[in-house]
Structure 1
Amino acid sequence: MVHAKDFTGNDPLCLNPYPAGTWTNEIVVCDRGTNARVDKSANVAAGGAKGFVLANTAEQGESLSMDPHSIPAIHIGVADGDLLRAWLDSGSGHMATLSGTIKEVNTNFGDIMASFSSRGANRALPDIIKPDVSAAGGGDHRSPGCE
């Protein structure tokens, strides 16, 4: 397991595709931010990564997303991300595996509004409040994995 910042251009955000052969079967950690989450995994896959960890920074906190990545992937919050980055910075030869997960369905999550949803007045026109109604099922209409 390696952190992307230690390779080709010191790019912890995995902004661009890595050259083929940058990695051989490694799990690569990328920091969240700036570019689409799914682009990050595609960029490390181009360099030969076989797994991907998306690690939040303080800006994103513990917010997690389920995205359709191009290689096996996991998304972790800032607390776990900070621990993982510190561990990787402590030396070399770190080993890890990614394995299957179980989807958790919890009806208590139904009352949590998505981070990208409107929560109040329009800043430019404060007398307009949208949405008029908040309800389940709308989904994210942006491109998958956008910040």
Structure 2
Amino acid sequence: MAHAKHFRDDDPVLSRVREICLEFPDCDEKVSHGRPAFFTTKVFTYYGGSVKVDGEWRQHDQSVMVLPDESERRALLEDARVFVPAYLGPSGWIGVDLPSADAETGWDEVAELIDASYRLTAGNRRVARLDQP
């Protein structure tokens, strides 16, 4: 069964996420469960997410879902922009609502979260390539 598409190809926020993700070694993009997913052998970032609140699905269309280091997860969850996404949340993933595409602030932090997620999922060889000058 095909999943409904939960994004627009011309979304400028998605374009910013693509710019960040596709810079990582061996990164590729696929659509998984109706959302863009960025991966090497494992997914390290999803674009968009959802949570179930009082029996209703609440979409976070302009967000990323990433896997943070476990030691940082609790502090991240205190941020109002951060949510525990359906399905992936119990495995340690978080969702982060994104700034606008032309925002002056916030994107450095998004890039750091994506970097951390990549480092946890990409494997030692890819991470070593990432750290080469």
Return the TM-score normalized by structure 2: 0.26
- Pair member with larger Rg: 1
Normalized per residue, the structure richer in helix is 2
Normalized per residue, the structure richer in strand is 2
